[in-house]
């Protein structure tokens, strides 16, 4: 028996294409007036992560200012089902043959309210958190000891069948006398609410009320008669279809378990959820103690090196502390413990330390050992929930996002690193949608945007060498050489279609390991700055460091070198003099570029050593300079990346309390305005910031094994004592 797909494809190779669907609501207006559109985007989940994230690889599917999200999803799920049943014949440009594609939906990304709607859940504020599991209850139940402990566990998982049955029960309730109240009760007790069948339900409720109305002098209609008439109306409302066709289409979609295929999204749940709650709590404590200005000074002076351009503008963050966005929270999560260690109670500090650990775990781009990773993650989440319960016990009852954390390990086991189902890339794509929407005259906005995007998709397909079937020539054709090479020669257009410029790396030599910008000195009045003069080898710091096996000191003696300020590392970070880098953990002292070149040759560094224990309160590795300074001269290829190292301000009981006033810079110009910054005491005590997201893999690799096991079990919390 040949495979049925073999017959369907006519002997062609059959490939399946997993799709990620995303749905959101965006405004289609330039002004602040909210012009709500629901949009659906899609990406191909079989591509590497680096490509899935690119704007180029996100495809617009549909949008409408009128249709409800589930009505749009109904259309989308119908066309996905069609390709599943019929297949799509296309050209495999690699193997130069026709193939058949079968698309299926792997998961649906979106923010929590949208996902709740997709699951026919009554929403985040409902007593039951049941999007995925059946945990919840009335506030009274949740406040009881056993009910509260249940919030720390995953409950029984939901099935689409059960949800479907509940919705059908609700439709039946609508036919009974007193249906409105009964229905309200059913929604509240089950947490299930289906917007799609709502029109039928409302129709039945309204009709029931009219039929049962008592008029003066006319006897009430017998209940049996009312029921018969309602049934008749119900059949009519179904319009010849079954009830299933009038219920959330995602519940019955083949191959989709909507309760498990709507993974918890990390941008809204973590950054705009739990990190935001903790930020609110922390600023409340700081404000009450009137320490916000002190906090601002600390934030101003924090070492940001190695964090890959974080968004930590102290002025902005403190002024608009109630209106921060995702990238602020992402940056704050990486440095908070170093800023507030002596300003807040210990459990709030522990909360931030665990947030730091959690954020690094969830922003992993790859997972080597799934079981080990998930054990650590589950442990961290449990600890975090216990700490949150200590900080603000009611938050676990009122905020469902804390409970959602518990489901993350299962989603990661099902779909891979959490960053894959992050919606950040789709949220940025909303800007592209917006640009397409504002040029419409708004007579038929969905039609206009669909046309704009289909035109764009065709161009993207053609210029990147895609094939299409030519009806006249009866064969697969593709664009000529002048068109397919166009983007390479035009980086601006390349950028406009959302492709990365990595193909032209040789143009940008800055992107190469070892590249160093030559040092300059300001030119004479009005003239351009000049390259500063070279110095001789024997005058450099590197010449004083004896490297074993290096006996070419003599031959270098007369060579000339530029002393540069920064160079590019192996991971393409920019490391400056004074930066902390990974080789061991070291600090850069000198960067030498031979005369006439742009490529660094010798890098002088001095190394730090790890203490055998983690820091007792901050739970990060501690670094010290050894008694005899260990200096090295290495090449740029030895330096893997830049890391974030912070001063341990509480070491030896010496809090760095001293403040220094420095002038504020505005648009590259120093002003006479001053702001305070922290002066660190000269204690030999440093901390390796393991909460930094940038280069987390390289940082983790440099930490001694013994410390790793301590990080995994850092803050021991007694869950039952709560």
Shortest Å, Cβ 414 to Zn ion: 15
Shortest Å, Cβ 512 to Zn ion: 36
Query: For the packed helices 198-212 and 179-190, what is the interaxial angle rounded to 10 degrees?
Result: 150
The 3 state secondary structure assigned to 350-393 is HHHHHHHHHHHHHCCCCCCCHHHHHHHHHHHHHHHHHHHHHHCC
Question: In degrees rounded to 5, what are phi and psi of residue 343?
Answer: -110, -15
Q: Does 133 bind Zn ion (CB under 5 A)?
A: yes
Residue 64 and residue 36 in contact, taking contact as beta carbons nearer than 8 Å: no
Shortest Å, Cβ 250 to Zn ion: 19
**CA gyration radius, the chain:** 31
Looking at the Cβ atoms of 260 and 695, the one nearer to Zn ion is 260
Looking at the Cβ atoms of 332 and 408, the one nearer to Zn ion is 408
Closest CA to 126 of 200, 70, 214, 189: 189
Looking at the Cβ atoms of 675 and 680, the one nearer to Zn ion is 680
Looking at the Cβ atoms of 175 and 403, the one nearer to Zn ion is 403
Distance CA 90, CA 116 (A): 36
Looking at the Cβ atoms of 268 and 330, the one nearer to Zn ion is 268
- Residues whose CB is less than 8 angstroms from the CB of residue 437 and which lie 6 or more positions away in sequence, other chains included: 28, 37, 63, 445, 448, 449
Q: Is 536 helix (H, G, I), strand (E, B) or coil?
A: strand
Residue 386 and residue 393 in contact, taking contact as beta carbons nearer than 8 Å: no
Shortest Å, Cβ 404 to Zn ion: 7
Looking at the Cβ atoms of 132 and 425, the one nearer to Zn ion is 132
Q: Is 220 helix (H, G, I), strand (E, B) or coil?
A: coil
Shortest Å, Cβ 380 to Zn ion: 17
The region of 128-136, 309-317, 376-384, 544-552 touching Zn ion under the rule CB under 5 A is 128-136
The region of 216-224, 623-631, 650-658, 709-717 touching Zn ion under the rule CB under 5 A is 650-658
In the region spanning residues 350 to 369, those forming contacts with Zn ion, defined by CB under 5 A, are: none
Burial of 217 (0-12, 13-18, 19+ CB in 10 A): exposed
Size of site (CB under 5 A) for Zn ion: 7
The region of 367-375, 433-441, 647-655, 660-668 touching Zn ion under the rule CB under 5 A is 647-655
The region of 23-31, 627-635, 648-656, 708-716 touching Zn ion under the rule CB under 5 A is 648-656
- Residues whose CB is less than 8 angstroms from the CB of residue 455 and which lie 6 or more positions away in sequence, other chains included: none
CA angle 353, 358, 362 (to 5 degrees): 155
Q: Does 647 bind Zn ion (CB under 5 A)?
A: yes
The region of 51-59, 482-490, 642-650, 689-697 touching Zn ion under the rule CB under 5 A is 642-650
**What would the two tokens of residue 603 be?**
């890098």
Shortest Å, Cβ 287 to Zn ion: 24
Shortest Å, Cβ 682 to Zn ion: 9
Shortest Å, Cβ 649 to Zn ion: 3
Shortest Å, Cβ 376 to Zn ion: 20
Shortest Å, Cβ 245 to Zn ion: 30
Distance CA 644, CA 303 (A): 7
Looking at the Cβ atoms of 193 and 647, the one nearer to Zn ion is 647
The region of 108-116, 133-141, 371-379, 486-494 touching Zn ion under the rule CB under 5 A is 133-141
Residue 304: C-alpha distances to residues 308, 310, 646, 654, 678 (Å): 8, 7, 9, 22, 14
User: Tokens 């009335």 map to which residue?
Assistant: 138
The region of 410-418, 534-542, 589-597, 649-657 touching Zn ion under the rule CB under 5 A is 649-657
Shortest Å, Cβ 166 to Zn ion: 17
Shortest Å, Cβ 703 to Zn ion: 22
The region of 149-157, 185-193, 371-379, 446-454 touching Zn ion under the rule CB under 5 A is 149-157
Residue 125 and residue 370 in contact, taking contact as beta carbons nearer than 8 Å: no
Q: Does 624 bind Zn ion (CB under 5 A)?
A: no
Q: Does 135 bind Zn ion (CB under 5 A)?
A: yes
Binding-residue pattern over the window 655 to 694 for Zn ion, x denoting contact by CB under 5 A = -x-----------------------x--------------
Looking at the Cβ atoms of 649 and 692, the one nearer to Zn ion is 649
Residue 318: C-alpha distances to residues 294, 299, 315 (Å): 11, 9, 6
Q: Does 654 bind Zn ion (CB under 5 A)?
A: no
Looking at the Cβ atoms of 69 and 409, the one nearer to Zn ion is 409
Closest CA to 227 of 243, 241, 213, 208: 208
Task: Return residues touching Zn ion (CB under 5 A).
Answer: 133, 135, 154, 647, 649, 656, 680
């Amino acid at each position: 028996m040949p495979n049925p797909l073999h017959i369907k494809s006519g002997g062609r190779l059959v490939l399946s294409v997993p799709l990620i669907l995303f749905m959101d609501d965006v405004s289609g207006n330039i002004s602040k007036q909210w012009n709500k559109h629901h949009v659906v985007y899609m990406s191909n989940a079989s591509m590497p992560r680096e490509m899935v994230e690119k704007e180029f690889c996100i495809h617009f599917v549909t949008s409408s200012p009128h249709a409800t999200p589930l009505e749009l999803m109904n259309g989308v799920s119908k066309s996905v089902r069609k390709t599943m049943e019929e297949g799509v014949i296309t050209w495999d440009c690699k193997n130069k043959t026709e193939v058949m594609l079968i698309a299926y939906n792997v998961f649906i990304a979106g923010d929590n309210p949208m996902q709740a709607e997709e699951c026919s859940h009554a929403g985040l504020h409902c007593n039951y958190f049941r999007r995925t599991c059946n945990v919840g209850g009335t506030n009274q139940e949740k406040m009881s000891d056993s009910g509260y402990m249940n919030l720390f566990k995953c409950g029984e998982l939901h099935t689409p069948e059960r949800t479907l049955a509940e919705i059908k029960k609700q439709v039946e309730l609508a036919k009974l006398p007193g249906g409105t109240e009964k229905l309200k009760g059913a929604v509240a007790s089950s947490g299930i609410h289906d917007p799609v069948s709502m029109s039928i339900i409302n129709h039945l409720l309204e009709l029931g009320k009219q039929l049962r109305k008592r008029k003066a002098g006319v006897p009430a209609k017998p209940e049996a008669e009312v029921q018969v008439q309602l049934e008749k109306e119900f059949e009519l409302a179904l319009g010849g279809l079954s009830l299933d066709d009038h219920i959330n289409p995602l519940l019955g979609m083949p191959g989709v378990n909507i309760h498990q295929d709507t993974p918890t999204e990390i941008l809204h749940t973590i950054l705009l959820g739990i990190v935001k709650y903790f930020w609110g709590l922390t600023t409340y404590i700081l404000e009450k103690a009137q320490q916000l200005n002190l906090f601002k000074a600390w934030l101003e002076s924090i070492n940001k090196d190695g964090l890959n351009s974080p968004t930590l503008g102290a002025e902005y963050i403190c002024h608009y502390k109630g209106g921060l966005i995702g990238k602020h929270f992402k940056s704050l999560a990486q440095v908070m413990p170093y800023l507030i260690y002596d300003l807040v109670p210990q459990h709030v500090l522990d909360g931030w330390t665990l947030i730091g650990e959690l954020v690094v775990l969830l922003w992993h781009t790859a997972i080597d050992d799934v079981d080990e990773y998930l054990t650590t993650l589950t442990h961290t989440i449990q600890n975090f929930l216990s700490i949150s319960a200590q900080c603000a016990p009611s938050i676990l009852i009122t905020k469902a996002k804390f409970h959602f954390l518990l489901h993350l390990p299962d989603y990661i086991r099902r779909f891979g690193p959490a960053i894959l189902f992050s919606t950040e890339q789709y949220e940025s794509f909303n800007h592209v949608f917006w640009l397409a929407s504002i040029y419409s005259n708004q007579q038929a906005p969905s039609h206009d945007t669909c046309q704009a995007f289909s035109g764009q998709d065709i161009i993207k397909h053609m210029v990147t060498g895609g094939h299409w079937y030519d009806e006249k020539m009866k064969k697969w054709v593709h664009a000529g050489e002048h068109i397919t090479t166009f983007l390479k020669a035009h980086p601006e257009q390349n950028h406009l279609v959302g492709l990365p410029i990595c193909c032209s790396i040789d143009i940008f030599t800055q992107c190469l390991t070892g590249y160093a910008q030559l040092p300059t000195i300001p030119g004479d009045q009005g003239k351009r700055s000049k390259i500063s003069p070279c110095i001789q080898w024997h005058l450099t710091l590197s010449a004083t460091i004896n490297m074993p096996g290096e006996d070419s000191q003599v031959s270098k003696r007369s060579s000339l070198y530029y002393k540069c300020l920064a160079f590019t590392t192996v991971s393409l970070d920019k490391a400056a003099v004074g930066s902390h880098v990974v080789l061991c953990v070291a600090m850069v002292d000198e960067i030498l570029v031979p005369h006439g070149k742009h490529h660094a040759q010798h890098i002088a560094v001095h190394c730090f050593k790890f203490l055998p224990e983690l820091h007792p309160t901050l739970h990060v590795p501690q670094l010290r300079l050894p008694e005899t300074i260990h200096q090295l001269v290495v090449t740029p290829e030895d330096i893997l990346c830049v890391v974030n190292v912070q001063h341990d301000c509480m070491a030896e009981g010496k809090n760095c309390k001293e403040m220094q006033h420095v002038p504020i810079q505005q648009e590259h110009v120093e002003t006479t305005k001053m702001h305070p910054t922290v002066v660190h005491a000269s204690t030999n005590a440093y901390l390796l910031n393991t909460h930094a997201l940038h280069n987390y893999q390289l940082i983790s690799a440099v930490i001694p094994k013994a410390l790793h096991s301590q990080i995994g079990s850092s803050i021991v919390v007694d869950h039952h004592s709560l």
